[in-house]
Each structure stands twice: as structure tokens, then as C-alpha cells.
Structure 1
Amino acid sequence: MRAALYDRYGPPEVLYEGKVPMPAVKPDEVLVRVRAVSVNGGELAGRTGKLRLVTGRRFPQRAGIDFVGEIAELGPSVTGLREGERVWGFLGRTTFGSAAEYVSVRPRQIAPAPAGLTPVQAVSLLAGGTTAITALRDKARLRKGERLLVRGASGGVGSVAVQIGKAFGAHVTALAGPRNLGFVRGLGADEVLDYQATHPSELGAFDVIMDTVGTQHPAYRRLLAPGGRMVAIAFDIASPLSSLSYILGSAVHGSRRVRFFSGNPRHELFAELTRYAENGDIRPVVDTVHPLAAIAAAHRALEAGGVRGKHVIEIRH
């Protein structure tokens, strides 16, 4: 079958479309015919070698962590699912390989995909939506009427976080680049500001800050109101040790803690996201659709920045 591969760590150009064996289906697994995957920051880190302690040095390696498709085969011990059922799911935060024609997964890694959305539309919500729900509901415990600030509001996670924040009843202030202000405003944000022209000291106080950027944590932490919570899903790659040390230190010093997490969602969270999508609380956020053969171009585009939602790989069979 066709799959996105690379034979060494490096820039986007190391990626190519190649051939790999069809995955074997264990008795407790399902085979999913993949229709679409999105491009995520974790894959970029994997491809460049920043996760080599986990991914190792065996090549070729694979790309893709999420997927939307339909069940092609059921293992003999799997119940409650049927062939042809439309599903979406996630391989794992450091398990790559969904950018392929088929994947084999356990039932807890999938859930029914939202009705009324194409695979391309649905997959644009998956990684960002599960991350946003975990960050805002479980980590920050965002409540109705609270003031929420979303940094990086036009990206794959931030664009869904704006919508999830509004679904939770928060007053949402969003920071984005100048060309994306209208796009973010259309997602429902109450206030949209150009991050290039807005210093943190001009922003006022917030009950919850969701940071998808990873820089200037001290400056933004100071914006938290008493009892405020800040959730970071990124750290400063220019000085990772300093950035992570600050985040960890915030748990010990002071009341305004910065919570950092890397998501690894399962069935229940996918099912909840499906309900939000089918209820119309969130809508797809597709920047550009690429064929599997253009996987390198998709990675290059995400690295270039300025993204509006997700770069999506559509896999045609």
C-alpha cells in the first residue's frame, strides 16, 4: 500500500510517497481504510529528529497521527462495530503512520466520525479539537462567563479552541497574525487582536489563557486574574530547557500555575468531539488539501506559518 515515508531525519524534502506492506490485523483490532489525515506539529518534530529518543534510528519511518476513514475489516474478537462504518481516530502522540492507505488500530482508538462532514472536513477538527477540550475543560476547568485568551488562534489547535471556548460560554479574546484576523473573528471570537501590534501588557486580565505558541510564558502568566489558569501545549524551541523549567517551576512558586500537557486521546474524547461537530458548535478549519504525494509540500507549508486551521492530506484509493 502507499504511505508517506522518510529514510533520514531532516527537512520536509526527506518525505516521499512509497510502498509498505498492508498492516496485519490482530484479533482485537480493526483495519481502517484511510481517507484523510491532518499535518500536526508533533510530526514535524518527529521528522526533524527532535523525538529520536522515542522514534529511534530505524528507517524508513512514517508520518501521520490522526485519520478519518471507514472500517475495512474487523478482527474476530471485535464486537460493536461493523465494516463500512465511518470512523475517526488517533494513533498516539509519538506513534506515526496514519498517512497511508490503511491503518490497523484497537477499537478504543476510534469513534464514529461526525455525520454531515467529509473526511477532509472532519480530520481538520480531530487533533485540535481533542487537545482544546482536554486543555479547557480538564486542565483549566473553564467556566461559563470567564475570560479566555487564546494565543495562536488561527492555527490547527487555536482555531478549534476559540470555538470550544465559545461553546463553553466563555468571553474569548484571540491573538492572531494580521492576515488572519477576519478568519478568527469568523470563528466566533469576541475580540481579535494582532499579536504583532499588541504587547501583553495591553491585554488586561484573564481567567484562562491557552497558549499554542510557547514563547513569553512569564509575560502572559502575569495576565492571569486571581485564581487564573494557563495551559500551554507548546514551549520555546529556541530555549526548550529554560521554557520547560519555567513551566515546571510555576507549579511550585506562586498561585498562577502554568499547566503543560501533550494529548493522547481515546474513544470517549473522540465521541464527545463528534457531538460538538454534529451540534454545530464547531466547524471545519481546512487551510489547504494536499494529495499524499505532496506530503513534503504540506509539511513545508505548516513550517512556514500563517496557517488557517489545518493542512490536510487526502488519500484517494
Structure 2
Amino acid sequence: MKAVLYDRFGGPEVLYVGQLPRPEPAPGEVLVRVRAFSVNGGELLARSGRTRLITGSKFPQRTGIDFAGEIAALGTGTSEYAVGDRVWGTAGRSPKGTAAEYVAVPADRIGRVPGGLDLVEAAALPGVGTTAVTALRDKAALRPGERLLVRGAAGGVGSVAVQLGRARGAEVTGLARAANLDFVRELGALEAVDHRTVRPADLGRFDVVLDTVGTELPTYRALLRPGGRMVTITVDPARVATALGYLAASAVLHGRGRVRVFSGNPKRALLDDVARHVTDGALRPVVDTVFPLEETSAAHRALEAGGVRGKFVVRVGPPTAEDDKHCA
């Protein structure tokens, strides 16, 4: 099968499409014919070698975190699914990259794709959707009427968080580039602010801050009202030690007001929660650009350049009848 690989750490140019044996599903696993996957920030860090202490330095390495596709084969103990079912999910913390024609994953790491979504659209949501739900509902316990600040509001997690924040009854302020402010308002933000021209101190106070950028953590924590909560999903890769030190100190010194950070590893129940938000009309996937598998390196390069609206998605194989609307 085709898979996106790299034989050394570096820029997007190290990615290439190679051949690997088609996997067989182990007991408790399903084999998914991948139709599309999205590009995520964590993959850029891994490819560049910044997380080599976690990923190791054995090559070739694979890329890809989430996917949408159809079940191609079942391992034993997976009778709740059938061949042909439309599913989405993530590889979790497994080294199995989803940027491939097939991926074998545990059955508890997938969910059914909501009706009304094609598989290219669906691929934009598993990773960022479960992250945003976890951040706002489980870590921040966002309540109706509270003020929510979303940093990186036009990006993958940010664009979902703006929608879910509004659905939870919050007053959402989104920080983004000037070119994306109207887009952020269309997602449901009450206010959209150019982060390059407005100082954080001029934004006011918030009950919840969701940070998708990973820089200036003390500055944005200072915007919290009494009892406020801040959640970050990343740290500045150029200052990892400093950021981790601050997070550790925050947990000790600030107690309940600490900055919360987590690493996503979603299971079926969380994917089903995202699906319900889609079905209820509270959430829609936002696909910026669709790339073919052979141009995965271009998708990485585009994400590194910034300015994405929602997600960059990579299609695996030729367009199907249901998703040819993305071919323009």
C-alpha cells in the first residue's frame, strides 16, 4: 500500500510516498481503507525532529494522526461494525501513521461518520473536534454566559472551539489574523480581534482562555477573572523547557487556577460526542484546501506558513462521487 514516510528529520521536503505491506487487523482491531486525513501541528513537530525523544530516531517514520474512511476488514471481537461502514478516528499515541491507504486501529478508537458529511469533510474533525470538546467541556467546564477567549480562532482546534463555545452559550472572543476576522465571526464569535494590533491587556477579562498557540502563557493567564480557567493544547517548540517549567509552577502555585494542558488520546465515546454536535447543527467541519496524497509535503508546508482556515485535508486515492465537490 502507499504511505507517506520520511527517512530523516527536516522540512516538508523530506516527506515522500513509499510502499508498505498492507496491515492485517489484530484481535480487537479493524482495518480502515483511508479516504482522507488532515494535517496537524503535532505532525510538523515530529517530522522536524523536535519530538524525537518521544518518536525516536528509527526510520522510516510515518505521519498522520486522524482519518476518515471505510472498514475494509474486521479483526476478531469487532462484531459491532461491518465491512463498508463509514468511520472516522485517530491513531492515538500509536506510531501507526494514518497518511496511508490503509490503517489498522483498535475498534474503540473509531466512531461512525455522521450522516450528511462526506469523508473529506469528516477527516477535518476527529483530532481537532475531540480536542476542543475535551478542552472546553472536560478541562475548563465552560458554562453559559461566560466569556471565552480563543487564541488561534481560525485554525483547526480554534475554529471548532469558537463553534462549540457559542453552542454552550458562551460569549466568544476570537484572536486571529486580520484577514480571518470575518471568518471567525461567521463561526459564531461575538468579537474577532487582530492579535497583531491589539495588546492582550486591552482585551478585558475572561472566564476561560483556550490557547492553541503555546506562547506568552503568563500574559494570557493574567486575563482570567477570579475563578477563571486556562487550557493550552500546545507549548512553544522554541521554548519547550521554559513553557514546561511554567506549567509545572502553575500547578503548584496557582492550584485550581493553574494552566491546564493535556495530550489527546480519544476513544469512541468522545468521537460520538463530536458526531452529535455535527448532527445537532452546532458544529460543521471547515476544510481550507484539499491536497492529493502525493502532495502531502505541500500540505505540511502550507500549515507551517500559517493563515489556515480550519483544516488542510489530504485525499487518499481518486475523488469519489460523494466528495467530488472538493475538486475545484
Give the alignment's TM-score, normalised by structure 1. Answer: 0.97
Query: In the alignment, which residue of structure 1 is the partner of 2:2?
Result: 2
CA RMSD of aligned residues (A): 1.1
CA distance in 2, matches of 1:141, 1:115: 28
What is aligned with 1:36? 36
Equivalent residue number for residue 124 of structure 1: 124
Alpha-carbon distance between aligned partners in 2 of 1:159 and 1:191, rounded to the nearest angstrom: 14
> Is the Cα–Cα contact under 8 Å of residues 42 and 94 in structure 1 kept in the other structure?
no
Which residue matches 2:144?
A: 144
Look up the match of 1:188. Answer: 188
The 5 A counterparts of 1:85-234 are 85-93=85-93, 95-234=95-234
Q: In the TM superposition, what is the alpha-carbon distance from 1:126 to its structure 2 partner?
A: 1.7
1:27: Cα distance to partner? Answer: 2.7
Matches within 5 A, 1:243-254: 243-254=243-254
SS in 1 for 2:156: coil
Partner secondary structure for residue 76 of structure 2: coil
- Paired residue secondary structure (1:251): helix
- Which consecutive unaligned segments of at least 5 residues does structure 1 have? none
In structure 2, what residue type is equivalent to 1:102? Y
- Aligned residues of 1:93 and 1:262 also touching (Cα < 8 A): no
Structure-2 residue corresponding to 1:315: 316
Q: Which has the higher mean CA deviation after the structures are superposed, 299-308 or 234-243?
A: 234-243
| Aligned 8 A contact 2:50 2:237 in 1 | no
Unaligned ranges ≥5, structure 2: 319-328
Residues paired across the two proteins, number: 317
Query: How much has 1:105 moved relative to structure 2?
Result: 1.0
Distance in 1 separating the partners of 2:29 and 2:230: 38
Q: Match of 2:173, as an amino acid?
A: T
Instruction: Indicate if the aligned counterparts of 1:43 and 1:96 stay in contact, CA closer than 8 A.
Output: no
- 1:48 Cα offset (Å): 0.8
* Deviations 1:141-181, CA, capped at 9 Å, x for gaps: 11111110000001111010101111111110000001111
Contact 1:42 1:93 in 2 (8 A): no
Distance (Å, rounded) in 1 between the aligned partners of 2:238 and 2:62: 26
For residue 96 of structure 1, report the CA deviation from its aligned partner: 4.2
* 8 Å contact from structure 1 (residues 62, 97) kept in 2: yes
Aligned partners of 1:25 and 1:75 also within 8 Å: yes
SS of the residue 2:125 aligns to:
helix
Listed as ranges, the matches of 1:22-61 within 5 Å are 22-61=22-61
- State the distance in 1 between where 2:97 and 2:64 align: 5
Deviation at 1:5, TM superposition (A): 0.8
- Judge conservation of contact 2:96–2:103 (CA < 8 Å) in 1: no
Counterpart code for 1:283: R
Give, in whole Å, the separation in 2 of the partners of 1:159 and 1:77: 37
Q: 1:235 to 1:94 in 2, by over 3 A?
A: farther
Which residue of structure 2 aligns with residue 290 of structure 1?
291
Encode CA deviations 1:158-217: one digit per residue, 9 max, x unaligned.
010101111111110000001111111110111100000110110111000000011111
Match of residue 264 from structure 1 = 265
Q: Does the Cα contact within 8 Å between 1:54 and 1:94 map onto a contact in 2?
A: no
Shift of 1:262: 1.4
**Which letter does structure 1 place at the counterpart of 2:197?**
A
Moved over 6 A (4+): none
The residue type equivalent to 1:204 in the other structure is: G
Secondary structure at the aligned position of 1:157 is classed as: helix
For residues 22-60 of structure 1, give each alpha carbon's deviation from its aligned partner in whole angstroms, at most 9, with x where no partner exists.
Answer: 002213211111001000011111111122122222211
SS of equivalent to 1:238: helix
Q: Check 1:226–1:94 CA distance in 2 against 1; reply closer, same or farther (3 A cut).
A: farther
Could you tell me which residue of structure 2 aligns to residue 241 of structure 1? Answer: 241
Q: Is the 8 A contact 1:4 1:18 kept in 2?
A: yes
